[in-house]
């Protein structure tokens, strides 16, 4: 059975592909595809995954740092949302998003997940995977269709 790490890693890859596409075509539509994939990912981690890690005091610093990175990604994303795709700093802002996301993904995959694997059982990691998938599904159903 899939664990939460399998699912999050697969989504990291999808987000990265979508960002590459957005950098290639520079369209707002492509940015919205990035956002539609990124928003539930960040929220799902914050609701279902990070809180379990925060219970372990030895991981609190790592998790606090991950929250800060989420906030940075959300703030760049909301700037992009209010920008015109044709504006002069669009390209550099998308690049900023790419760098911020890549950095965070690397930290999760090389630091957060290995530490999480030490404190969460395999059973738990599968259980959160199911909760995450349910959350992700309901999140998508609640979203208004993208412009």
Measured from the CB atom, the residue of 28 and 70 that comes closer to Fe ion is 70
Q: Which DSSP string corresponds to the chain?
A: ---HHHHHHHHHHHHHHHHHHHHHH--HHHHHHHHHHHHHHHHHIIIIIHHHHHTSGGGHHHHHHHHHHHHHHHHHHHHHHTS-TTSTTHHHHHHHHHHHHHHHHHHIIIIIHHHHHHHS-HHHHHHHHHHHHHHHHHHHHHSPPP-
Measured from the CB atom, the residue of 49 and 90 that comes closer to Fe ion is 49
- Of 80-109, binders to Fe ion (CB under 5 A) are 108
Q: Does 73 sit near Fe ion (CB under 5 A)?
A: no
In the complex, least distance from residue 8 CB atom to Fe ion, rounded to whole angstroms: 5
In the complex, least distance from residue 86 CB atom to Fe ion, rounded to whole angstroms: 30
Taking CB under 5 A as the criterion, the residue among 28, 31, 44, 45 binding Fe ion is 45
Residues that bind Fe ion (CB under 5 A): 8, 45, 108
């Amino acid at each position: 059975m899939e664990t939460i790490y399998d699912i999050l890693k697969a989504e990291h890859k999808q987000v990265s592909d979508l960002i590459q596409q957005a950098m290639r075509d520079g369209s707002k539509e492509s940015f919205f595809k990035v956002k539609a994939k990124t928003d539930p990912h960040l929220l799902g981690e914050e609701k279902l995954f990070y809180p379990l890690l925060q219970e372990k005091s030895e991981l609190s610093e790592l998790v606090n740092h991950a929250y800060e990175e989420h906030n940075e990604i959300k703030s760049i994303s909301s700037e992009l949302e209010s920008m015109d795709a044709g504006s002069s700093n669009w390209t550099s802002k998308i690049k900023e998003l790419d760098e911020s996301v890549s950095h965070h993904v690397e930290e999760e995959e090389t630091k957060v997940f290995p530490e999480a694997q030490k404190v969460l059982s395999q059973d738990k990691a599968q259980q959160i995977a199911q909760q995450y998938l349910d959350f992700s599904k309901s999140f998508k159903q609640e979203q208004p269709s993208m412009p």
